[in-house]
Amino acid sequence: MDLKDTAATTATVWIGIDVSQDTLDVCLLPTTGKEKHKEFSNDALGHAKLLRWVQHLIGEQGCHYCLESTGSYSTAVAYFLAQAEERVSLVNPARIKYAGMAQGLGNKTDQVDARLIADYCRKQQPALWRAAAPEVRVLVALVRRLHSVQELVVQEQNRLAVPGLPAQVHTSLKKMLRVLEAEVHRLQKQIKEHVENHPGLKADKELLLSIPGIGETTAHELLGEMPDVKQFASAQSMAAYAGLAPREHSSGSSVRKRTRLSKQGNSHLRRALYFPAVSAVQWNPLVKAHYERLREQGKGKMVALGAAMRKLLMLAYGVLKSRQKFDPQWTQQQKRQPMLAVP
């Protein structure tokens, strides 16, 4: 799952950042000497002060910043550090949680969390995070904004369906729905134009559209949520990034729980694949065969559909990595190219 970068191993100081909406609680953990703690505001001024504080304390030593991946609260400071050419990693919060449980930590404070993140960084040396290209960051923001507005549309539709509404409320809901639906159409148009205006995104979109089950909306979402495929050594690594890697739970001879998807990755990417996988089960020969094989083995519908989502993502990885459109005869080719394997 991790992106490989040996530069992370040169660090001698590890910096854990516990991120909240307004503040950054920071722990600086050196190889030798006393750890340092300080709080900064989570804004542009606070980010600059954080960097100056660290540089003042460590001088020429190499350092490695680490923070949990918590959406917009964490990406702003991560972008700032990456642009300053600092080593920075974004880690799934579940990994930090389990690291704390393994250490038997009972107290949970911002300082304790920052120290835990710094210690995790020191011991695990997580892969370095790479900022997406500016046009991709804009696409991500547009796609996620579209989802938010679409959710508001559903909420207002549900309210409108309540029986016995006063006429005034009914009128208000209808008016709001017209505004929201117009905004949905505007955002969809803006997303399409944005992709068309950037040759790299447009070329990747054409490759994704060659895969049965992936339409324009899904292609836009995948372009935003999938990191650059060059950062992953295999399709399996990409699936793990999305939280679509199977997790087996067994112990000894008596514990044999059902294998499930890990779901410890990009939830936006998983959501983008759900309905396309439903379509691909009908129209994509590779996904359909995989789904039917699992059903014949007695797997439940949702388990098989999760596997179909994984298969579809791996196919997307394959076409982007190879720069070749989807070929239903890929199975034979993949025996000669393990990197593009789709089990």
Q: What was the pLDDT predicted at 130? A: 83
152-181: per-residue pLDDT in tens?
Answer: 999 999 999 999 999 999 999 999 999 999
Mean pLDDT of all residues in 42-53: 96
Helix H or strand E segment including 180: helix 167-196
Q: What was the pLDDT predicted at 114? A: 94
Mean of all residue pLDDT scores within the chain: 86
Distance CA 208, CA 202 (A): 10
Confidence of residue 247 (pLDDT cuts 50, 70, 90): low
Residues 6 or more apart whose Cβ sits within 8 Å of residue 20: 42, 73, 110
DSSP three-state, residue 297: coil
Q: What was the pLDDT predicted at 37? A: 95
Q: What was the pLDDT predicted at 308? A: 93
Mean pLDDT of all residues in 294-302: 91
Confidence of residue 262 (pLDDT cuts 50, 70, 90): low
Q: Percent of the chain having pLDDT more than 70?
A: 86
For residue 174, the Cα-to-chain-centroid distance in whole angstroms is 35
The number of residues making up the chain comes to 343
DSSP three-state, residue 17: strand
203-235: per-residue pLDDT in tens?
Answer: 999 999 999 999 999 999 999 888 888 878 788
54-93: per-residue pLDDT in tens?
Answer: 999 998 899 999 999 877 788 899 999 999 999 999 887 8
Q: What was the pLDDT predicted at 236? A: 85
Q: What was the pLDDT predicted at 266? A: 78
Q: What was the pLDDT predicted at 100? A: 81
Mean pLDDT of all residues in 177-197: 98
Q: What was the pLDDT predicted at 334? A: 53
Checking if the pLDDT of 254 tops 60, the result is no
Checking if the pLDDT of 253 tops 50, the result is no
- Which CATH superfamily does the domain covering 6-124 fall into? ATPase, nucleotide binding domain (3.30.420.40)
Mean pLDDT of all residues in 300-325: 92
Confidence of residue 290 (pLDDT cuts 50, 70, 90): very high
Confidence of residue 7 (pLDDT cuts 50, 70, 90): very low
Higher pLDDT, 172 or 96: 172
Q: What was the pLDDT predicted at 107? A: 61
Burial class (CB in 10 A: 0-12, 13-18, 19+), 177: middle
11-44: per-residue pLDDT in tens?
Answer: 899 999 999 989 999 999 999 889 999 999 999 9
99-135: per-residue pLDDT in tens?
Answer: 888 777 656 677 889 999 999 999 999 888 888 889 9
Higher pLDDT, 4 or 13: 13
Domains of the chain by residue range: 6-124, 134-197, 218-340
Q: What was the pLDDT predicted at 106? A: 57
Q: What was the pLDDT predicted at 245? A: 67
Q: Mutual orientation of helices 301-322 and 285-296 as an angle, nearest 10°?
A: 150
Q: Per DSSP, which regions of the chain are E strands?
A: 13-19, 23-30, 36-41, 63-68, 87-91, 246-251, 255-261
